[in-house]
Structure 1
Amino acid sequence: MMKRNTLLALTLFMGFFTLSATAQEKKKASPAASVKETINSGATIGIDYSQPSVKGRKIGEEIAPYGKVWRTGANDATTFEVSKDVKVEGKNLPAGKYSVYTIPGEKEWTIIFNKTWKQWGTKYAEADDALRVTVKPEKSPAFTEQMTFKIEKSGKVTLLWGDKSVSFRVK
C-alpha cells in the first residue's frame, strides 16, 4: 500500500512538471528574430526584433497606425547595430546600437534611429533620436504574415509585413 501511494504521488508529481514544461514551450505570439549582414561598404549591420503577425488586421489602422510613432516590432525595442559610421539614405549615422521606430504612412514612412536601444518597445523619447529618414513604402511582391527584416549586400534594408515593403539604403 505504501509503495502504491508513493508511486501514485511520484506519477502525479512528474505529470505536473511535464504539463508545466509543455506550457512553457508554447510558441510565442511574436517570436524573436535577427538578421546580420556585412554590406559592400564593409560595415556590418545587425537587426534584432520580435515578429508581430498581421492576424487579419489592417496595417495603418488596427496595427501600426498611420501618422503615429510605432515601435516597429513587438516586445523589447527593435535594435539596429552598425559596426562603423554609415550613411542612411544619404544622412550620417555613427557606428553604434540604436532602437528602431517608424511613423507609418500611406505615402511615406519615417524611419527613426533612437539612441536608447535597451528598452521596452513602447518607451520612445523623441529627444533621444539620432537620425530620421523618410522613405516611400511599396506593395510587397508577396504577403508576409510575420514582420521580417532583410539586409542585402548592397546595403538595402527592407521591412516586409503584410502587403507592405519599406526599404532604406545604408552605405
Structure 2
Amino acid sequence: MKTPNKNFLFTLFFLFTMTASVFAQDAKPVASPAATATGKVGGANITVNYSSPAVKGRTIWGELVPYGKAWRAGANKATTFTTDKDIKVEGKTLKAGSYSVFMVPGEKEWQIIFNSETGQGGTKQGGVANFDPANNVLVVNVKPKKSATMNERLVYEITNKGFALKWENLEVPVAIK
C-alpha cells in the first residue's frame, strides 16, 4: 500500500483551511447580540448580562413588548443580574448572588423581578416569560421616564445610583444603595 506524499497532504490541508475560512465569512450578524454592563454601586460590583435587540422601526412599548405581561428584559436568554455584595434595590434588600431579571412594563409603572433561577431561555412556548414566580426573591416597582435620546439598541447602564434599561424613547431607572 502506498502512503500519500507530504505535498499531497499539505495541499489537502490548505484547501480545507481556505474552504472553512470562506464559509466563516458568510456568517450574518446576530440580530440581538450578547452584551454586558458592569459597574460599581457603593461597594458592590454589579454585572448585567443581556441580549440587545434593535428597534428596527417597530413600536416597542405596548406592542412588541406588551404592557402588563412579564418580559425577559432583553432578547434570547433571560437577562442576568449579579452583585458581589448585599444591596438595597429601591429600599429592599437583595442578597449577593446571580439572578434572572424579568420586568412587567406599564405605561406609568414597571415591576422589576429578581428571580433565583438563572441560565434559562427567556421565553416558554407561546412567548410567555420563562420563570417560576415561586423563585422570585425580590419584586420592586419603578417609574419609567422619557429618555433624553433615542436608543436604537436596548442597553443597560450602571451608575453610582443604580442601573437603567434604555431602549427606544424610554428609560427605566432602578435605584440601588
Q: What TM-score range do you get, normalising by the shorter chain?
A: 0.7 to 0.9
Please say if 1:162 is aligned against 2:163: no
Q: Which runs of 4+ in 1 moved over 2 A?
A: 9-19
Q: CA deviation at 1:60?
A: 2.5
Q: Distance in 1 between matches of 2:51 and 2:13?
A: 39
Q: CA deviation at 1:99?
A: 0.5
1:23-72 deviation per Cα after TM superposition (whole angstroms, max 9, x unaligned): 23x311001110111222x0111111110111111122331110000011
For residue 67 of structure 1, give the secondary structure of its aligned residue in structure 2.
coil
Please say if 1:28 is aligned against 2:30: yes
Look up the equivalent residue of 2:152 and give its one-letter code. E
The aligned residue for residue 67 of structure 1 is 68
CA RMSD of aligned residues (A): 1.9
The aligned residue for residue 3 of structure 1 is none
The aligned residue for residue 120 of structure 1 is 121
Q: Distance in 2 between matches of 1:125 and 1:56?
A: 33
For residue 132 of structure 1, give the secondary structure of its aligned residue in structure 2.
strand
The aligned residue for residue 3 of structure 2 is none
1:130-170 deviation per Cα after TM superposition (whole angstroms, max 9, x unaligned): 111111100000000110000112x3211100001000111
For residue 127 of structure 1, give the secondary structure of its aligned residue in structure 2.
helix
Q: Distance in 2 between matches of 1:156 and 1:14?
A: 48
Look up the equivalent residue of 2:111 and give its one-letter code. T
The aligned residue for residue 152 of structure 1 is 159
Q: Distance in 1 between matches of 2:171 and 2:77?
A: 22
The number of equivalent residue pairs is: 162
List aligned pairs for 1:34-53, cutoff 5 A. Answer: 34-40=36-42, 42-53=43-54
The aligned residue for residue 134 of structure 1 is 141
For residue 58 of structure 1, give the secondary structure of its aligned residue in structure 2.
coil
Q: Percent identity?
A: 46
Structure 1: any 5+ residue segments left out of the alignment?
1-5
Look up the equivalent residue of 2:156 and give its one-letter code. F
Look up the equivalent residue of 1:22 and give its one-letter code. Q
Q: CA deviation at 1:10?
A: 8.8
Q: CA deviation at 1:14?
A: 6.0
Q: Distance in 1 between matches of 2:17 and 2:87?
A: 55
For residue 17 of structure 1, give the secondary structure of its aligned residue in structure 2.
helix
Structure 2: any 5+ residue segments left out of the alignment?
1-7, 124-129
- Summarize the Cα distance change of 1:14–1:110 in structure 2 as closer, same or farther, 3 Å threshold: same
TM-score, scaled to structure 2: 0.84
For residue 21 of structure 2, give the secondary structure of its aligned residue in structure 1.
helix
